[in-house]
């Protein structure tokens, strides 16, 4: 995922993290200067869903505008299986049901 806060803020005329921090405080989200700096300049490793909700409300966007998927990075992390031909992975083995007595019973 790519964090897209600064671009979304710039599209709404918000150019400084202090201005964004003030708008968030007006919406009920008090963020420390350090946390705001990390959100503004970097890519957060975690973000609370409540905080994301307030960010989206202040910016007038949805989470998809702030969190941009990068499928090529996911593909690059995938381990390659041995025996792959031309870079293609062999198909995974089929899923087979286990027969016999189930380990647990459904609730009555």
Q: How confident is residue 99, by pLDDT bands cut at 50, 70 and 90?
A: confident
Decide if 96 is inside a domain. Answer: no
pLDDT for res 94: 83
Please state the rounded mean pLDDT for residues 18-44.
93
Whole-angstrom Cα distance, residue 6 to residue 14? 8
Read off the CATH number of the domain in which 53 is found.
Answer: 1.10.260
User: b or e along 63-88 (b: 16 or more beta carbons within 10 Å of the residue's beta carbon)?
Assistant: eebbeeeeeeeeeeeeeeeeeeeeee
pLDDT for res 88: 66
Q: Which residue has the tokens 């946390």?
A: 35
Whole-angstrom Cα distance, residue 42 to residue 45? 9
Instruction: Note the pTM of the prediction, 2 decimals.
Output: 0.67
Decide if 93 is inside a domain. Answer: no
Lowest mean pLDDT among 4-13, 22-31, 42-51, 55-64: 42-51
Structural domain boundaries, residue 20: 2-68
Domain count, the chain: 1
Mind listing the pLDDT tens digit for each residue in 46-87? 899 999 999 999 999 999 999 999 888 888 888 776 655 565
Decide if 54 is inside a domain. Answer: yes
Decide if 81 is inside a domain. Answer: no
Q: Tokens for 12?
A: 């709404």
| Residue spans of alpha helices (H) in the chain | 5-11, 17-26, 33-41, 49-59, 63-66, 71-77
Decide if 88 is inside a domain. Answer: no
């Amino acid at each position: 995922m790519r964090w897209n806060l600064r671009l979304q803020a710039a599209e709404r005329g918000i150019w400084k993290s202090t201005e964004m921090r003030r708008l968030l405080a007006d919406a009920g989200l008090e963020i420390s200067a350090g946390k705001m700096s990390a959100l503004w300049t970097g890519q957060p490793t975690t973000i609370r869903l409540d905080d994301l909700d307030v960010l989206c409300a202040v910016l007038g966007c949805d989470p998809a505008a702030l969190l941009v998927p990068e499928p090529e990075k996911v593909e690059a992390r995938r381990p390659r299986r041995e025996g792959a031909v031309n870079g293609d992975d062999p198909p995974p083995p089929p899923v087979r049901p286990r027969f016999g007595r189930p380990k647990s019973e459904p609730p009555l």
